[in-house]
Structure 1
Amino acid sequence: MHPSLPTAPDESDLVRLLTPQGERVHHPEASWSGTDADLLALHRDMVLTRRIDTEGYALQRHGELGLWPPCLGQEAAQVGTAHAVRSQDMAFPTYRDHGVAWVRGVPPEKLLGLYRGTDLGGWDPHEHRTALPSIIIGAQCLHASGYAMGIVMDDAVGHGDPSRDAAVAVYLGDGATAQGDTLEALSWAAAFSLPVVFVIENNQYAISTVTSRLSNVPLVRRADGFGIPGVRVDGNDVLACQAVMEAAMQRARDGRGPTVIEAVTYRRGAHTTSDDPSRYRAGEETEYWEKRDPISRVRALLDSIGTFERELAELDAEADALGERLRAACRTLPEPDLAALFDLVHAETTPELVEQRDAAVAWRALGAEEVV
């Protein structure tokens, strides 16, 4: 028997600027003033994020990856908010935030190594101003609050200088709101008025646990207990997500403290490829959310404008090329260097680790057939 999730969740307090039918609407507390070119850029990033996700899923099913966490349906929450994060800001994503990584300039090939077991993350966090994906639920929230305190100590907030003032964006799922690390990070951010924005991607499920089991009230209200302002946004509306995030990040850069954003969205795929969502949710529920697809509503708006036929055709070709690029990259990922793992534990390798490393290398040299 499936748990009871309302097919039509309460949307009365959501910030929405684009309806599921692709119509622009007004909201008294948020606005999106981008150009048609900006709209096309958002659409492109969501389409390519979905292609990255589709390829990752397919590669796992073909045995090329050990695991893949799909983000199907969450593209607007990720792409929209990431477009509001500036080059001097820092982002702390989860393992599902492929769209955030894409917008921040992380080569999508770098997402594959972690799930093939060939590296521990793959990119330079400083180069892309994006931390490696957090596997431990909620741990990235502590990292984000700590980093935000560093920004304050570096005197990089509150100057009114758009090229100097910085802030932190941290992403978490609905399940992470029940973790002690998250609550400690919220408490720390509130106590020190840190420049950090917590983006809760409420995709309705913490693995197989429906969000209503986690909280009897909207998750954004958890911010009230810490004295942090919060806003609830339609997480399938990329315009609203960008607008709300821009305001929250600017508030942080101005030195006015943290914000919590609850982006109400839906995970249309499995939690990971080791999960079977049909065991805990009904098909009609997924169908309901498919009609609120984040990409389809932007495409409908673009079609109503009617001047992007060439760009949209080129985007289809770009997505196909990206898919081939990822498949080729996955097949050429090198085997991991067992010895190198021991050198990545501490800043300076200890004698104990050297001993363990040498033993592991010797074991590998024996060959599997000689090991009892």
Structure 2
Amino acid sequence: MTERLTVPVELERGSYRVDIGTAILDDPQSWGSVLGDETVLLVSNDTVAPLYADRLESALGERDVHRHIIPDGEPHKNVSTWSGIIDRLIEIRARRDATLIALGGGVVGDICGFAAASYMRGIRFVQVPTTLLAQVDASVGGKTGINHTAGKNLIGAFHQPAAVIIDTATLDTLPRREYLAGLAEVVKYGAIMDAEFLDRIESMIDAVTARDPEVLRELVARSVRNKAKVVSADEREGGIRAILNFGHTFGHAIESVTGYARYLHGEAVAIGMVMAASLSERRGLCEAGTAARLERLLAALGLTTTLPDDIATAPLIETMGLDKKAVAGGLRLVLLTSTGEAVIDQDSSETEIAAAIDACRDPSRAI
């Protein structure tokens, strides 16, 4: 029997479990209590499917399993790709008892989940995340959606998975750049709600960047526990759950103005977190040095923390105004009151936001 750790996500309706382990993706035990004899559509992308689709399908036994492969990458997280999944469900005559399985990173999980939320007003889906970012963040919590040319994730729905199966061994095949990008979301949990976790990450940087298997399981499990705690308290982001967006309003704007082609999501979020921490200091919400500490850790983990001069400040601020987290009266930003504590704020002026952005352009300038 493969050793695994289970983290429950407790909700008023539709509670589910997150299984974390090594070599559990193709273990029939992972699926016995998740799937019945319903029709299954396995959705993956053209990078992940050749690596893991056959192994996963073999674990599903004699079930009626179909596949749908989508192009890899954020630029394909759009209505056309979503429509293709819907077309495939119709083609295989999937009924309301069908289940979608999302095998891949955050893009696959988001778009597959949105298709599950949309088809026949909602069918089951299971997350099988294969990137670090998806394992620690995107696969848990029920946020699904697609991008619009005007902004990231502007079209979507809350639709919780029936289960999340996290096989940390899939990270062995993850390109280094994507692995490092995922670390940004790991650091986020320490910054907003778990100061001890941030200390722990700082103490084992070499093991983290080397993908030590034991350290990976620790990072994933603690991140998932932190996210499950927040999601259980606020399933649909009516309050405290918004703290999980730390750095994301800035990061989403960076992704949008560069056409989702220049930065991976985690890379943009890393820059966005430094901007948000800088703004927190400028607003007097946290002590001096908080942003510099965050910047040093992210840089030590191999992430870029500065914004190039060819990305102008004005378009970023304009795009931030279209972010789905914006509210009447101003931007709703997540700022730090100290390391490990965050607050939802909408009192920052455009001048203060612009100053925080510009402070992240030149590494020689004081954050």
Smaller-chain TM-score range?
Answer: under 0.3
Q: Which has the higher strand share?
A: 2
> Which one has the largest radius of gyration?
1
Higher relative contact order (CA 8 A, sep 6+): 1
**What TM-score do the two structures reach when normalised by structure 2?**
0.27
- Using the size of structure 1 for normalisation, the TM-score is 0.27
